[in-house]
Amino acid sequence: MRTQTLNIGNEYGAEYAGKYVFQEITWAKRNRIIQKHTKYHPLSGQVQASDFIAIQAETIRAALKEQPPNSPITLEKLLSEENGIPIPLGELFSQVVNGLCALTREEQSFLSEPSDAKNPTLPSPTFGSAKNSAGLLQNSPNNLQDQSTNTSSSSTR
C-alpha cells in the first residue's frame, strides 16, 4: 500500500510539529466509513443525507499511521468546530489522504479506455417496437395510423 510522509514545522503551531505518515486505506475500509455516515431511504435506497465532514475526518484518522508522540490528531479534534485542528492543516491532510485513497492516473486512464472486447449483448429482433395491449406494434408510422383509424372507427360505433 502506498504511503506518504509529511514533516510539519511550527507553521500550524508547535503542538502539530513533527512527522506524520499516512497510508492508503482499502476500498472496503473507505466504503464502511461512507456507509456509517450516510443515511439511505429504507425503501428506495437513495441517499437522504451524508455527513461529509465525518467521512473525511474518519478517513484521515484511518489513514494516519504515525504522528508526533503527543498525538495531536484525534478524531475528536478533526470533528471539533471550536477546538479543532487549524483549517489549513486539515485541508492539507485531506489532500494527502484523498490522493492516497483515490485512483491513480494510470488506473483512471485504464478504466476510461474503450474496451477492445466485442459487445456481448446482441440486439433484439424487435428492438424499437413493442406491442400495446391491443396487440398492435407501436413505433411504426403505419401502425400508428392504423391504430388511430381503428380508434376513431370504434368510437363511432
Question: Do residues 68 and 75 touch, judged by C-beta distance below 8 A?
Answer: no
Up-side HSE of residue 124: CA atoms within 13 Å toward CB? 5
Is 149 a domain residue? no
- Kindly give the confidence (pLDDT) of every residue in the chain, 157 residues in length, as a single tens digit, with 9 standing for 90 and above: 899 999 999 999 999 999 999 999 998 999 899 999 999 999 998 999 999 999 999 999 999 999 999 999 999 999 999 999 999 999 999 999 999 987 556 655 665 666 555 555 666 665 555 555 665 555 555 545 544 444 444 445 4
49 is written with which cell numbers? 443525507
Helical (H) or strand (E) element with 6:
strand 3-8
Question: Do residues 59 and 101 touch, judged by C-beta distance below 8 A?
Answer: yes
Is 128 a domain residue? no
Query: 4 has which bridge partners?
Result: 22
Is 98 a domain residue? yes
Question: Do residues 63 and 1 touch, judged by C-beta distance below 8 A?
Answer: no
Dihedrals phi, psi of 131, to nearest 5 degrees: -85, 140
Question: Do residues 111 and 103 touch, judged by C-beta distance below 8 A?
Answer: yes
Question: Do residues 16 and 85 touch, judged by C-beta distance below 8 A?
Answer: yes
- pTM, full prediction: 0.65
Is 73 a domain residue? yes
Range of the domain at 86: 3-105
Is 51 a domain residue? yes
Domain count, the chain: 1
Is 41 a domain residue? yes
What is the DSSP secondary structure assignment for residue 137, as one 8-state letter? B
Is 114 a domain residue? no
Is 88 a domain residue? yes
Res 78: pLDDT: 96
